[in-house]
């Protein structure tokens, strides 16, 4: 599924007030079709272009950014969203595509973003599945990691260490979905550089554009569940789309809770659907079906080869071949081409 096209066709209305955080070069919709969309970032347009001229994040991940395609930012976030959007009408939809993994305090984000949403509003998150991108070898995020940062006002220094130590320069999802020599991709990043990055982070000097919070699609939903049980998640899951074969994104549509209760049935249904064990079985089944089809084709090819071998040995074939040879000789004598 093309998530962005789905949002355009099914969720976003032309008159909706939409806020998209961190659109960079690929906003979900443009102002010519949705005039009430606003783009926000922690940096101005000029500062974003400076950042993506060259930085450690791009070097580490192998990504590139077309500076001319960076969209103009309408709102620069300064401090909390509550303060940054003071006096601004609330939004029908807030969109974050490949953004929440960059938040230094992810729990604080989910609490603060409620301040810019209408009561009937939706929060849409498109997330890069860590299993199928340059975060493949990262140590997954746990709720306690995020809780320590949020509750104890710690910085994300351990997450910085993990990023610098384990990120790889490969972001093609096909490489991770298809059987291949993944061992060749094992990170060999410098331990001393990772330690230095952690020490700098402890002094609030963070590296460029880090992925602090790597999740698989399963881990993301489990993280929401843990936040919900702890009382830090003010949303219910309205829609969820797991990562599809040969892609690297999942998508979740959240709505503000009507009641302070946990929708256990919804979590159970989703987690059963995307549990690692279930996905592995589905992948094996898909692979088995392909292998079965190939086996049928190979059997058919073998059968046809055997039939052709019998035909070639038959008297009729030799007789027909002799006639064709004689005919071609006559045609050559007359200056005509072979048939």
Summarize pLDDT for 168-190 with one digit per residue, the tens: 999 999 999 886 677 789 999 99
Contacts of 15 (CB under 8 A, 6+ apart): 36
Q: Which one-letter DSSP state was computed for residue 114? A: G
pLDDT at position 10 is: 93
* Residue bearing the bigger pLDDT, 291 or 127: 127
pLDDT at position 209 is: 80
What distance in Å separates the CA atoms of residue 107 and residue 130, rounded to the nearest whole number? Answer: 19
CATH superfamily of 3-274: Vaccinia Virus protein VP39 (3.40.50.150)
Rounded to two decimals, the pTM is 0.77
Summarize pLDDT for 195-215 with one digit per residue, the tens: 999 999 999 888 878 999 999
* Residue bearing the bigger pLDDT, 113 or 333: 113
Contacts of 54 (CB under 8 A, 6+ apart): none
Residue 304: Cβ within 10 Å count? 10
pLDDT at position 180 is: 65
Q: What is the DSSP string of 274-285?
A: H-HHHHHHHHHH
| Residue 28 φ/ψ, nearest 5 degrees | -65, -45
pLDDT at position 207 is: 83
């Amino acid at each position: 599924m093309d998530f962005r096209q789905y949002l355009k066709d099914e969720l976003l209305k032309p008159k909706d007030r939409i806020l998209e955080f961190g659109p960079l070069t690929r906003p979900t919709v443009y102002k010519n079709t949705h005039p009430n969309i606003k783009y926000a970032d922690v940096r101005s347009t000029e500062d974003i272009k400076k950042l993506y001229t060259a930085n450690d994040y791009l070097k580490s991940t192998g990504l590139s950014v077309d500076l001319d395609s960076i969209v103009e930012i309408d709102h620069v976030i300064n401090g909390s969203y509550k303060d940054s959007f003071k006096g601004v009408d609330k939004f029908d939809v807030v969109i974050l595509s490949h953004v929440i993994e960059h938040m230094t305090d992810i729990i604080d984000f989910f609490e603060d973003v409620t301040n810019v949403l209408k009561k009937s509003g939706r929060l849409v998150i498109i997330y890069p599945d860590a299993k199928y991108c340059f975060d493949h070898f990262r140590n997954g995020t746990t709720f306690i990691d995020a809780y320590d940062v949020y509750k104890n006002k710690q910085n994300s220094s351990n997450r910085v260490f993990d990023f610098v130590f384990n990120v790889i320069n490969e972001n093609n999802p096909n490489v991770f979905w298809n059987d291949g020599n993944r061992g060749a991709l094992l990170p060999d990043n410098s331990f001393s550089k990772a330690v230095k990055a952690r020490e700098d982070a402890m002094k609030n000097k963070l590296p460029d554009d880090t992925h602090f919070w790597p999740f698989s699609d399963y881990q993301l939903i489990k993280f929401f569940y843990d936040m919900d049980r702890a009382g830090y998640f003010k949303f219910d899951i309205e829609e969820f789309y797991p990562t599809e074969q040969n892609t690297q994104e999942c998508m979740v549509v959240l709505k503000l809770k009507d009641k302070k209760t946990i929708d256990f049935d919804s979590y159970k249904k989703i987690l059963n659907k995307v549990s690692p064990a279930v996905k592995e079985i589905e992948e094996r089944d898909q692979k088995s079906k392909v292998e079965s089809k190939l086996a049928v084709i190979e059997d058919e090819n073998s059968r046809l080869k055997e039939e052709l071998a019998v035909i070639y040995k038959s008297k009729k074939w030799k007789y027909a071949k002799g006639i064709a040879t004689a005919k071609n000789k006559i045609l050559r004598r007359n200056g005509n081409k072979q048939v």
